[in-house]
Amino acid sequence: MSPLGAFFTYAALGVWAFVCLFPLYWIFVTSFKLPIHVNDGPVYVPFVDFTPSLHAWEYIFVDLRNDTLRPYLNSVVVALASTCLSLLVGSLAAYALTRVTYRVSLGAVGLFLALLAATVVAVVLAGVPWWLAAAVAIALLVLLLRALAGRFRRHLGNDDILFWMISNRILPPVVAVLPIYMMFQKVGLLDTHLALILTYAAVNLPIVVWLMRDFFATIPYEIEESAQIDGAGRFRIVATIILPLARAGLAATFLLVLILAWNEYLLALFLSTADAQTMPLLVAGQNATRGPQWWYMSVLIVLMVAPVVALAIALQRYIAKGFLVGAVKG
Amino acid sequence: MSSHREPSALGRFLERHADQILIWPAVLLLLAFSIFPTIASATLALSRLDLAPGGFTLTFVGLRNFQRLLFGSQQDHLLGTMAPLGPLATGLWLAAAGLVLVGIARYVVRNLGREPLALVVGLFGRVLAALLFLALLALVLSTNAPGGFPGSLVTTLVYVLGGVSIQFLLGLGLALLVARPIKGRRFFRVVFFLPLMVTPVGIAYGFRMLADTGKGPLAPIWQAFGLEEFAWAADPWAARIVVMIGDTWQWTPFMFLVLLAALETQPKDQVEAAWLDGAGPWQVFRFVTWPAIAPVAATVVLIRLIEAFKIIDLPNVLTNGGPGFATESLTLHAFIAWRTQDLGGSAAVGYILLFVAVVTCTSFVNFLAKRARGP
């Protein structure tokens, strides 16, 4: 690299590093500011142009104490549990989609949709109880599938299953959240960890399947074949050979999905009111009637970002490698 | 070895049905969260919800919610105020229409020998995508003509197309720089990843602090230009640009990270061979590097497209959708309709968004991504 080229490279990288860091720096110093420092125009460096104060940290940790701690623990529990669940379910499905050729007959899908439509009509228009309609529909589906098995010739393949999974991610949460709210209300799980865990797991599942499929696709099939000859079953192969080999991909996917679950706001807004409230709600909650309480908000944002940064640095070497493998096949 | 142990009855059952057991949990989880929400929100989109004593009543109104949004009283909110096209815009639209027609004609000519059903399905998809594209182009042109005003659909398209392309170019540029043999690579990798970790609500409030012309950190700069009284939140395009800056700050890291990984997997000898053959930097990029990373590029752009259509936190916190509804995205439009108890309208907006997003994403996959990925 020529000296001039090196200069411009580092200049560009330096500028972008500044762009990335400055907003975070600003949030960080704001957490040590008094309201007067914020409202009377910008002050930049603690100890130089203003005296830092711990009042916001005191408020968050002493005055609010349990009202900070509870959402924080909720966030940790919900993010970790939902990430683990979607990673487990999603990687098994992703593995299956790379190793097994599924043939979903188009007729069966059509039958399923037709019966679903009939159920909806029966419930909405004819007032049949929903459990009765669902039971009849499921029984009919099983019977008809048995009777018609082998009649359907057109099939959907793995790519179609994959696209169906991804397409679930396109429906905007604003539209889906009210029915999900009604579902959890029906089973009495509103404002519980379980509701958030299940919802986040389902919402992030397509991303897991998509990313993990690429990681699994790069593992050569021969490794499994030799284990199969030794008599190892499929689940043993997955647990002892495949998952360890894909740990880089698992780490990268884990981090990405964890970040999504940790930061999610809209679904939490609907599904949790008090007991299961998560951190993003607390951050938004600092926008009081007196206007946003920037200093409290900043403390909470710092508290939210810190563990993720620590985790990302810890997983850094996996991520670098992880995305690398996953990205090859896209 | 334990693998020689006689498997139990349960073990044998699991093994025999392993192919099904692996995939069904994922399918069931997705079905559980998609069947009822889809049906219920579709029902809502076709109904009017009225608060009644002790609950609410749901009245079936057919497509009236959609009619109201597309042609009725809500038209200027969703689509915007349309103005007649000038000669330049008309020419642009006609040129685009011509190109689309040529493309469809070429597809028909090339695929005449194929199975009729496949041809009809392929043609249907292309005609649908083409019609939507031309309609949206006409909408964007006419709402931005003098006297017009863009609605939430046009604003969302600006966010999606503008934001995703800026993020892609920035991410690609940074990845190309960091992929060079430089010192401090790990530092830049971690630092450039940071913005993705902040909760979107936090980013939105953070940017509200930063963008304050009187009390924000950039206040001296605004003052130097005599703009400390400039209210960007009152100017439609300035407000939209601030929203897009926040979005770009958050999502460029994602593009950067994945593209950098793709660049690092590229075999070094190809690039060196091209250099030895006397190729310039641009030629190396165009004919060696780009083909190697194009499939990954297609994938990250698709993921971003899906997520960008759902942007809500930034405009909601930064501008509350204003001035007027200049910065309102479709998701925010649905949210505001929901807040004003117009649940039917809210669901209808959601379905319009779903339709536009699905056609855009499948078109992207079929017409661009497959080509980038090669045969």
- The full DSSP string for A107-156 is HHHHHHHHHHHHHHHHHHTT---HHHHHHHHHHHHHHHHHHHTTT---EE
Backbone angles phi, psi at A104, to 5 degrees: -95, 120
pLDDT confidence tier of residue A320, bands split at 50, 70 and 90: low
User: In 3-state terms, chain B is what percent helix, strand and coil (to 5)?
Assistant: 75, 5, 20
The answer to whether residue B52 sits within a structural domain is no
List, for residues B340-368, the tens digit of each pLDDT value.
888 888 899 999 998 999 888 888 887 87
Residue A273: DSSP 8-state:
S
The answer to whether residue B38 sits within a structural domain is no
Q: Is B358 at the interface with chain A, CB within 8 A? A: yes
Q: Taking Cα atoms as reference points, which of A155, A148, A136, A166 lies closest to residue A111?
A: A148
Reported in sequence order, the residue ranges of chain A that DSSP labels E, i.e. its strands, are 104-105, 155-156, 287-288, 291-292
Helix, strand or coil for residue B210? helix
Residue B95 has pLDDT above 60, yes or no: yes
Backbone angles phi, psi at B228, to 5 degrees: -65, -20
Q: Are residues B234 and B277 in the same domain?
A: yes
User: Among the three residues B96, B128, B147, which one is the final residue of a domain in this structure?
Assistant: B147
List, for residues A42-58, the tens digit of each pLDDT value.
888 888 888 888 888 98
pLDDT confidence tier of residue B3, bands split at 50, 70 and 90: very low
Residue B233: DSSP 8-state:
G
Q: What is the CATH number of the domain that holds B310?
A: 1.10.3720.10
Domain that holds residue B290: 150-373
What is the rounded CA–CA span in Å between residue A22 and residue A30? 12
- At residue A168, the pLDDT reads 85
Q: Are residues B192 and B294 in the same domain?
A: yes
The answer to whether residue B37 sits within a structural domain is no
Q: Are residues B158 and B95 in the same domain?
A: no
Question: Do B310 and A172 lie within an 8 Å CB cutoff?
Answer: yes
Chain B residues with CB under 8 Å of A161 CB are: 23, 27
Chain A residues with CB under 8 Å of B217 CB are: 22, 26, 42, 44
What is the rounded CA–CA span in Å between residue A19 and residue B238? 19
Q: Taking Cα atoms as reference points, which of A187, A182, A173, A181 lies closest to residue A272?
A: A181
Instruction: Kindly tell me the sign of the dihedral angle through the C-alpha atoms of B270, B274, B280, B283.
Output: negative
User: Among the three residues B147, B164, B185, which one is the final residue of a domain in this structure?
Assistant: B147
- At residue A328, the pLDDT reads 42
Q: Are residues B113 and B241 in the same domain?
A: no
Q: Are residues B111 and B195 in the same domain?
A: no
Compare B97 and B187 and report the one with higher pLDDT: B97
- At residue B166, the pLDDT reads 96
Q: Is B101 at the interface with chain A, CB within 8 A? A: no
Residue A153 has pLDDT above 80, yes or no: no
Task: Take residue A300 and report the two structure tokens written for it.
Answer: 């909470």
Please name the residues in contact with A306: beta carbons below 8 A apart, sequence gap of 6 or more.
none
Q: Is pTM, for the whole model, over 0.90?
A: no
Q: How far is A250 from chain B (nearest CA, A)?
A: 15
Q: Is A261 at the interface with chain B, CB within 8 A? A: no
CA of residue A312 relative to chain centroid, distance: 16
H helix count then E strand count, chain A: 17, 4
Q: How far is A205 from chain B (nearest CA, A)?
A: 7
Cβ atoms of B255 and B167 within 8 Å: the answer is yes
List, for residues B138-181, the tens digit of each pLDDT value.
999 998 888 888 989 999 999 999 999 999 999 999 999 988 87
Residue of chain B whose alpha carbon sits nearest to that of A117: B39
Question: Do B249 and A42 lie within an 8 Å CB cutoff?
Answer: no
- At residue A1, the pLDDT reads 67
Backbone angles phi, psi at B225, to 5 degrees: -95, 5
What is the rounded CA–CA span in Å between residue B375 and residue B373? 7
Task: Take residue B165 and report the two structure tokens written for it.
Answer: 């392309």
Task: Take residue B324 and report the two structure tokens written for it.
Answer: 């007027």
- At residue B159, the pLDDT reads 94
The answer to whether residue B104 sits within a structural domain is yes
Asked which of A86-95, A172-181, B8-17 is least confident by mean pLDDT, the reply is B8-17
Rg of chain A in Å (alpha carbons): 26
Question: Do B192 and A172 lie within an 8 Å CB cutoff?
Answer: no
- Whether omega before B323 lies within 30 degrees of 0, making that bond cis, reads yes
Helix, strand or coil for residue A99? helix
CA of residue A288 relative to chain centroid, distance: 28
DSSP result, A201-242: HHHHHHHHHHHHHHHHHTS-HHHHHHHHHTT--HHHHIIIII
Q: Is A165 at the interface with chain B, CB within 8 A? A: yes
Dihedral (C-alpha) B142, B145, B147, B153: value to the nearest 10 degrees? 50
| CB–CB contacts below 8 A, A to B | 273
Quote the Cα angle for B334-B337-B338, to 5°: 85
| CB neighbourhood size of A175 (10 A) | 27
Q: Are residues B255 and B221 in the same domain?
A: yes
The answer to whether residue B156 sits within a structural domain is yes
Q: What is the mean pLDDT of residues B206-222?
A: 84
Cβ atoms of A177 and A144 within 8 Å: the answer is no
Instruction: Indicate the helix (H) or strand (E) that contains A257.
Output: helix A247-263
Task: Take residue A32 and report the two structure tokens written for it.
Answer: 């040590």
List, for residues A69-106, the tens digit of each pLDDT value.
999 999 999 999 999 999 999 999 999 998 888 888 88
- What are the C-alpha distances in Å from B11 to residues A89, A226, B51? 19, 20, 55
Question: Do B215 and A44 lie within an 8 Å CB cutoff?
Answer: no
Question: Do B217 and A22 lie within an 8 Å CB cutoff?
Answer: yes
| Average pLDDT along chain B | 85
pLDDT confidence tier of residue A111, bands split at 50, 70 and 90: confident
Chain A residues with CB under 8 Å of B271 CB are: none
What is the rounded CA–CA span in Å between residue B205 and residue A284? 8
Cβ atoms of A259 and A311 within 8 Å: the answer is no
Chain B residues with CB under 8 Å of A328 CB are: 262, 265, 296
- Over pLDDT 70: what percentage of chain B? 95
Q: Are residues B259 and B329 in the same domain?
A: yes
- Specify which of A133-142, B88-97, B114-123, B282-291 reaches the highest per-range mean pLDDT: B88-97
Q: Are residues B134 and B190 in the same domain?
A: no
Architecture of domain A65-101+158-330: Orthogonal Bundle (1.10)
User: Among the three residues B124, B147, B170, which one is the final residue of a domain in this structure?
Assistant: B147
Asked which of A166-175, A262-271, B30-39, B65-74 is least confident by mean pLDDT, the reply is A166-175
- At residue B6, the pLDDT reads 62
- What are the C-alpha distances in Å from B365 to residues B130, B186, B373? 15, 33, 10
Question: Do B37 and A324 lie within an 8 Å CB cutoff?
Answer: no
Residue B107 has pLDDT above 60, yes or no: yes
Instruction: Indicate the helix (H) or strand (E) that contains B51.
Output: strand B47-52
Interface test with B, best of A30, A175, A209 (most B CBs within 10 A): A175
Residue B232: DSSP 8-state:
G
Helix residue ranges per DSSP H, B211-288: 219-224, 236-265, 268-276, 281-284
- Over pLDDT 90: what percentage of chain B? 22
The answer to whether residue B282 sits within a structural domain is yes
DSSP result, B52-95: ETTEEEEEE-TTHHHHHHHTSTTHHHHTEE--PPPHHHHHHHHH
Residue of chain B whose alpha carbon sits nearest to that of A125: B60
- At residue A325, the pLDDT reads 47
* Candidate from A96, A168, A330 with C-beta closest to B295: A330
Q: Are residues B120 and B179 in the same domain?
A: no
pLDDT confidence tier of residue A323, bands split at 50, 70 and 90: low
Chain B residues with CB under 8 Å of A231 CB are: 3-4
Q: Are residues B120 and B165 in the same domain?
A: no
Distance in angstroms between the alpha carbons of the first and the last residue of chain B: 45
The answer to whether residue B74 sits within a structural domain is no
Please name the residues in contact with B154: beta carbons below 8 A apart, sequence gap of 6 or more.
B79, B80, B139, B140, B143, B144
B-proximal residues of A, 53-92, CB under 8 Å = 89-90, 92
DSSP result, B119-188: HHHHHHHHHHHHHHHHHHHHHHHHHHSTT-EE-HHHHHHIIIIIIHHHHHHHHHHHHHHHTSS-S-HHHH
Question: Do A172 and B306 lie within an 8 Å CB cutoff?
Answer: no
Please name the residues in contact with B330: beta carbons below 8 A apart, sequence gap of 6 or more.
A172, B152, B153, B156, B309, B349, B350, B352, B353, B356
Residue of chain B whose alpha carbon sits nearest to that of A29: B217
Q: For residue A204, is it left (φ>0), alpha (ψ between -120 and 50) or beta?
A: alpha
Residue of chain A whose alpha carbon sits nearest to that of B211: A23
Question: Into how many domains does chain B fold?
Answer: 2
pLDDT confidence tier of residue A291, bands split at 50, 70 and 90: confident
List, for residues A218-229, the tens digit of each pLDDT value.
777 888 888 888
- What are the C-alpha distances in Å from A166 to residues A172, A281, B361? 13, 27, 11
Exposure string of B223-241, with b = 16+ CB inside 10 Å and e = fewer, is: eeeeeeeeebbeebebbbe
Q: Is A116 at the interface with chain B, CB within 8 A? A: yes
- At residue B189, the pLDDT reads 84
Task: Take residue A71 and report the two structure tokens written for it.
Answer: 């959402």
Q: What is the mean pLDDT of residues B37-58?
A: 81
A-proximal residues of B, 111-170, CB under 8 Å = 170
Asked which of A230-234, B143-147, B282-286 is least confident by mean pLDDT, the reply is A230-234
List chain A domain ranges.
65-101+158-330, 103-156
Q: Are residues B121 and B209 in the same domain?
A: no
Question: Do A263 and B200 lie within an 8 Å CB cutoff?
Answer: yes
Chain B residues with CB under 8 Å of A232 CB are: 3
Residue A197 has pLDDT above 90, yes or no: yes
Distance in angstroms between the alpha carbons of the first and the last residue of chain A: 31
What is the rounded CA–CA span in Å between residue B259 and residue A24? 24
Q: Are residues B165 and B214 in the same domain?
A: yes
Question: Do B261 and A327 lie within an 8 Å CB cutoff?
Answer: yes
Residue B339 has pLDDT above 70, yes or no: yes
What is the rounded CA–CA span in Å between residue B273 and residue B174? 24
